[in-house]
Amino acid sequence: MQKNDQALMYDFADCLAVQTFLRMTSLPFNVRQRPNVDFISPDGVIPLLKINKTLITGFNAIVDFVHKKGVTLTSHLSETQVADMRANISMIEHLLTTVEMFVLWKHDETYDKVTKLRYGSVYHWPLSSVLPFLKRRKVLEELADKDWDAKTMDEVGEQADKVFRALSAQLGTQKYLTGDLPTEADALLFGHMYTLITVRLPLTNITNILKKYSNLIEFTKRVEQQYFKQ
Amino acid sequence: MPEKTFHKAQTIFEKASGVPSIVEAVQFHGVRVTKNDALLKEVSELYKSSNLDELVHNSHLAARHLQEVGLMDHAVALIDTSATSKEGYVVNFLVREPKSFTAGVKAGVSTNGDADVSLSAGKQSVGGRGEAVQTQYTYTVKGDHCFNISAIKPFLGWQKYSNISTTLYRSLAHMPWNQSDVDENAAIFAYNGQMWDQKLLHQIKLNAIWRTLRASRDAAFSVREQAGHTLKFSVENAVAVDTRDRPILASRGILARFTQEFAGLFGDASFLKNTLDLQAAAPLPLGFILAASFQARHLKGTGEREVHILDRCYLGGQQDIRGFGLNTIGVKADNSCLGGGASLAGVVHLYRPLIPPNMLFAHAFLASGSVASVHSRNIVQQLQDTQRVSAGFAIAVTYSSLRVTVAIAVTYSSLRVTVAIAVIYSSLRVTVVIAITYSSLRATVAIAVTYSSLRVTVAIAVTYSSLRVTVAIAVIYSSLRVTVVIAITYSSLRITVAIAVTYSSLLVTVAIAVTYSSLQVTVTIAVTYSSLRATVAIAVTYSSLRVTVAIAVTYSSLLVTVAIAVTYSLAFVFKSIFRLELNYTYPLKYVLGDSIMGGFHIGAGVNFL
């Protein structure tokens, strides 16, 4: 993640998750970065997969689409394991993404020093100041809808800890969350873990909490080694 | 100066070039807010007139200029001889300043063919030097909105037609041709001026526009990938020669205009766009008018990115190549039109004025045009290969300076409410008066048609209790008045025919008007000889509110009547010139995949090719 990159932590994590998933399934693809991707996406959801004239948005929809075409990473799993995997995905998507949104948009120092610059980086002045302001207002409304607006940084840290603890327990000493073979949950987990470990933010407490769970860190290094360092 | 008789300028014009003249004074009558220095700039040239012919001509020019720059609503020059010297003259300008505030409502058809309604409000000559502020809000049935505020300042001086203006607008519009919506927030600064003895018109515009393109579900990916926020800063320079007799549906003259738009110093857009417009019109025998228009555009991207879809050249629609969907000629992806990098369009028209002339026209046309893609390697070849042609006929309507006045009067004595609506078009005036009286439920509809100084009035009165129909036909020409009244009364079957011929001397009216700023007090005393009737009326007018107190004393049965009336009037003025066209079009030559719109269609707007 470069400093002049527009993608925000959770968007970057989702993009990385989709890339990891496609690499896991060995499907060919190439990656394009566009400054106006949230407008190209018909429903504003990122990332966006384009196959000929079909546009698929979001991690889950892409996984479903690939599944419908007959490519799947979950054929070896029992129904209970699939349900567990879905629960993990849901936890990462809802809880962890909200934690990341909170840090980026609610925490003033992070907003001023990172989010604002990064989000506005693809626009010329005065849009580079106006658009982050408008986006912040929208995200804060979303957080308020989830009753997250009154939370303190410590409470948000606890939520993050809860997610990491659950995922760490699930992983244990296994290679992947559900055993020796990767699933889409692993792709999503890797996307978020890698982003949290590598991102440089003024606020370090989420990363510090993550460092307590050494098996998650090991998992991230392992997946990176296997799918991105060849 | 009521004791003097003034003659029309034609009586001496072009016969008095040998009569020397010295302007002794220039006087203005009716000035309240206009600044002295502004008037001085406008008329100082009059003092340089060396003979009477020149003075007559210059006075006329000055009066017209006062109106055209927005200093006055109305101005007439009266040239008077001086009391002291034989060669001396005094020029009097009778002027009416613009209303303190104007408001308007307009319903029409937008260029896209939607019905639209706009509300506008403005103030003319804000600081007494011709400055104007206008605001307008428009919305169409399909949901487009536009809010616009503009300020304009003219440069005053002898025959100077230059101004600077600033416009801020915000608009939300649907673009059916590439199935997307665009939000625009813009600031535009413009200078309009003239060069070379006023023969060359010159305009410079600085545009700063923040645009947000939102692709709809059906939009092609080529449109979708350009969606989002873009910022355009551009400089536009236009030079034009215009000898047409009127800007819309000219009957003679030419227009040649060359516009260059350069974007790229700031913002996302970087391109150079050249536009050449040519128009010519000439009268033919039997009242026919032959007109031709030609437009060529070329667009060249100067940055790394390809030229944005919002900046490209589009053709097609009721205003240029009739018979094709609006802006749909050119390269397409799925159902979206992507615009082009160059375009050519030409239309040949044949017009025949109908009745009323200069307003209604029969119209036949042949239109042709083509658009080349932004990536085209051989523009000329592509323009030739993709030519479209259509032909058809139409009824064209043009109108200008239409004025609607609504006056509501409430009279106390027996509770009476009158609503008068007047529609004024050039010198034709139609008035509809609806009066409702409380006590005996009476409705009156009076329709008056005034043309120049001739006035015909038809009044129909329906009274509830005893059906009464009155038709009054009054023909008034200047000071001679002939009235014919036919009244039919239901209950006792009465037919009255009254013919009155009035020639000014039977009636004595004394009117005294005291005007202070926008407050006006009028005292009217009328003495009628025959049955000895004296009326005293006092009217106080402040801006558009008017209070009248009338006291009438009638001799025969010694009756004293006191009536108090309060009138509030509101005027809607449509100064913009406009053209409406109902046409039947048949596309003759087209390319597969074009959205062809043959048959009957309505086009409206200002810029017709």
Contacts of A148 (CB under 8 A, 6+ apart): A98, A102, A106, A156
Across the interface, do B227 and A50 touch by the CB < 8 Å criterion?
Answer: no
Is residue A2 situated within a structural domain?
Answer: no
Contacts of B214 in chain A (CB under 8 A): 39
**B456 or B312, greater pLDDT:** B312
Could you tell me the two tokens for B281? 């019109």
pLDDT attached to residue A40: 92
**B246 or B314, greater pLDDT:** B314
pLDDT tens-digit map of A14-55: 999 999 999 999 999 998 888 888 899 998 888 999 988 889
Q: ipTM of this predicted complex?
A: 0.87
CA distance B153 to B351: 37
Residue B496's nearest CA partner among B521, B477, B472, B517 is B472
pLDDT tens-digit map of A167-224: 999 998 899 998 889 999 999 999 999 999 988 888 888 889 999 999 999 999 999 9
A15–chain B nearest CA distance, Å: 18
Could you tell me the two tokens for A120? 């506005």
Residue A13's nearest CA partner among A122, A73, A89 is A89
Q: Is the CB of residue B213 less than 8 Å from the CB of residue B309?
A: yes
Span B293-308, mean pLDDT?
92
Span B360-380, mean pLDDT?
91
Domain that holds residue A52: 9-228
Q: B65 φ, ψ to 5°?
A: -65, -40
CA distance B392 to B356: 23
pLDDT tens-digit map of A133-143: 999 999 999 99
Span B455-477, mean pLDDT?
55
Is residue A1 situated within a structural domain?
Answer: no
Closest alpha carbon within chain B to A120: B229
B3 — pLDDT class (breaks 50, 70, 90): low
Span A221-229, mean pLDDT?
90
Q: What share of chain A is helix, strand, coil (3-state, %, to 5)?
A: 65, 5, 30
Across the interface, do A40 and B227 touch by the CB < 8 Å criterion?
Answer: yes
Is residue A4 situated within a structural domain?
Answer: no
CA distance readout (Å), A217 to A200, A224, B43:
16, 11, 87
pLDDT tens-digit map of A43-87: 888 899 998 888 999 999 999 999 998 888 888 888 999 998 999
- End-to-end CA distance of chain A, in Å? 19
Could you tell me the two tokens for A152? 């303190």
pLDDT tens-digit map of B86-145: 888 899 999 988 877 777 666 666 655 566 777 888 888 888 898 999 998 988 877 888
Q: A157 φ, ψ to 5°?
A: -60, -40
Interface test with B, best of A6, A36, A54 (most B CBs within 10 A): A36
- What is the pTM assigned to this prediction? 0.75
Among B162-166, B263-267, B476-480, B540-544, the minimum mean pLDDT is found in B476-480
**B302 or B535, greater pLDDT:** B302
Which domain CATH number covers A16?
Answer: 1.20.1050.10
Kindly tell me if the per-residue pLDDT of B492 is higher than 50. no
Amino acid identity of residue B42, one-letter, is: E
CA distance B93 to B467: 51
What's the domain count of chain A? 1
A157–chain B nearest CA distance, Å: 35
Contacts of A28 (CB under 8 A, 6+ apart): none
Chain mean pLDDT for chain B = 78
Across the interface, do A36 and B217 touch by the CB < 8 Å criterion?
Answer: no
Residue A146 host element (H or E): none
pLDDT attached to residue A162: 93
Across the interface, do A55 and B215 touch by the CB < 8 Å criterion?
Answer: no
Q: What percent of chain B has pLDDT over 70?
A: 68
pLDDT attached to residue B587: 87
Is residue A3 situated within a structural domain?
Answer: no
Strand partners, B76: B94
pLDDT attached to residue A140: 94
Is residue A175 situated within a structural domain?
Answer: yes
Contacts of A127 in chain B (CB under 8 A): 210, 229, 231
pLDDT attached to residue B307: 92
Q: Is the CB of residue B318 less than 8 Å from the CB of residue B602?
A: yes
Is residue A178 situated within a structural domain?
Answer: yes
Classify A99 as helix, strand or coil.
Answer: helix
CA distance A37 to A6: 11
CA distance readout (Å), B146 to B136, B151, B301, B473:
8, 17, 29, 46
B455 — pLDDT class (breaks 50, 70, 90): low
Interface test with B, best of A53, A119, A125, A127 (most B CBs within 10 A): A127
Amino acid identity of residue B24, one-letter, is: E
Kindly tell me if the per-residue pLDDT of B600 is higher than 50. yes
User: How many Cα atoms sit within 13 Å of B245 on the Cβ side?
Assistant: 10
Contact residues, B window 197-256, toward A, CB-based 8 Å cutoff: 210, 213-215, 217, 221, 224-229, 231
CA distance readout (Å), B568 to B98, B408, B409, B420:
18, 5, 6, 10
Closest alpha carbon within chain A to B265: A124
